[in-house]
Amino acid sequence: MQDTIDIFIGRQPIFNTDMKVIAYELLFRSNTDDNYASIVGGDVASAQVMMNALGDIGLSEIVNEDQKVFINFTEGLLLKEYQPFYPRTKVVIEVLEDIKVTPLLMESLSKLKKKGYLIALDDYIFNPELEPLEQFANIIKVDILEVELDKIAMHLERIKDKGVRLLAEKVETQEEYEQCRQLGFHYFQGYFFAKPNIIAGKRLPNNKLSLLNLLSNVYDPDIDMFVLSEMIAKDVGLSQKLLRFVAQTLSMKQSITSIHDAVVRFGLRRLQSWTSMLVLSGVEDKPIELFMTSLIRAKFCELLGEKLGGASLDAYFIVGLFSCLDAVMDAELSDLVSKLGLDKEIKLALLEERGKLGLALSLVKNVEKGGASFTLPGSITATELSQLYVQAMRFAEQVDLK
């Protein structure tokens, strides 16, 4: 039996003018003792909040049926081409105040709004540089500690005319609440009402090898959905998480009959985003760059394999992918390779860099180091080798790990 991992989410209520809780903002917390956000990368914190809330604890345990959850989305998450897998009827996307307004961001928010997601601008202080984002906002959260009430009043009518709802945050006194209510705010949040409380839960640990294997296959455009189903079904943690997400994010008139049934209903694009988010949120003790290196090496070896021949492209891909496995798994590569049932040629490539498979691995390592003293195979030029590495990097970037 696998040991479970304790997980935590901070939850702060959001009230309407009738003092009824209509939503909760979900916040990253690492334990129950310290009710404040630990220093964790923003992308990782947001990913963990989302995966813990939707995939492990379950939204039904956090909010009532008629309530929503506000989740912070960093620039890193918004700019990636994630296929949203979270329920649009429950999740409000909070755009953080330190984000940079760019054409890519505008395009991303436009797509999310067209899909029916509610968008909130967080900690808004009426910075002219952020004004272009107002067109996408359903809710604007005004930081009343940073903006004088007189200045707020100047902007309120303009904002209301756009059909935007206004939320006063960081309300800490009865006087502030009354002033904001009289100004026409629709919602309120702050310590005057309640400090964030912490909800605890448990999740099964992510099997790093299963996750890496799934990640390496889910972005293959020719992958068979049955193959993906088998990978997930072999891991109880992945199976449980997927079923929770499918149950909460898709409206289904029929019950799920199998893991394959869940995979098909979820769809490949959602499955890609879900897998990437799992990696981001669940491999806490390893830098994402390690997984990026694995994927770059895998694709590079595959591309080079098209020119070298001598083995299947899948074999080239596996050699590159598993070349970092010792660092991911904190174990000797020889011990890991012996347990994976790999072909002899793949083993020799990984452990001794022998054969054409080993040559591909040796070359990608030299390219990473910026080396120039290695011998090029056949008629392949240094320029071609650099081009292959750029292609591999682009492939890895599409996997949305950051």
Q: What pLDDT was estimated at residue 121?
A: 92
SS3 of 247-265: HHHCCCCCCCCCHHHHHHH
Tokens of 265: 């209903």
Count of CB atoms within 10 A of residue 232's CB?
24
CB neighbours of 321 closer than 8 A, spacing ≥ 6?
Answer: 212, 216, 294, 295, 297, 298
Tokens matching residue 99:
């984000």
Q: Domain ends where: 172, 201, 230?
A: 201
Same domain, 84 and 119: yes
Cβ-Cβ contacts under 8 Å for 331 (sequence gap 6 or more): none
Are 233 and 259 in contact, with CB atoms under 8 Å apart? yes
Cα distance between residue 205 and residue 2, in whole Å: 8
Pair (231, 302) in one structural domain: no
Mark whether 110 and 224 lie in a shared domain.
no
101 to 70, 162, 239, 367, 396: CA distances (angstroms):
21, 20, 38, 35, 25
Q: How far apart are CA 272 and CA 182, in angstroms?
A: 47
Using an 8 Å Cβ cutoff, are 374 and 363 in contact? yes
Say yes or no: 365 and 322 in one domain: yes
Alpha-carbon 287 to chain mean position: 14
Any idea what the CATH number is for the domain that residue 90 is in? 3.20.20.450
C-beta separation of 305 from 360 below 8 A: yes
Check whether residue 17 and residue 107 sit in a common domain.
yes
Q: Are residues 182 and 87 in the same domain?
A: yes
Asked if 164 and 313 sit in the same domain, the reply is: no
Residues 135 and 162 in one domain: yes
Q: Per-block average pLDDT, block size 10, for the chain (402 residues)?
A: 62 87 81 41 71 73 86 80 72 88 90 91 84 91 82 78 87 86 90 67 63 75 84 77 73 68 84 75 60 83 88 81 74 72 80 90 84 69 84 75 46
Check whether residue 340 and residue 382 sit in a common domain. Answer: yes
**The total number of structural domains that make up the chain:** 3
**Residue 49 shares a structural domain with residue 178:** yes
Q: Which of 282, 309, 342 is the last residue of a domain?
A: 282
Nearest to residue 312, comparing CAs of 283, 343, 289? 343
Assess whether 27 and 170 both reside in one domain: yes
Residues β-bridged to residue 70: 25, 92
Range of the domain at 323: 288-398
Q: Which of 233, 248, 282 is the last residue of a domain?
A: 282
Is there a contact between 199 and 15 (Cβ–Cβ < 8 Å)?
A: no
Residues 68, 143, single domain; the answer is yes
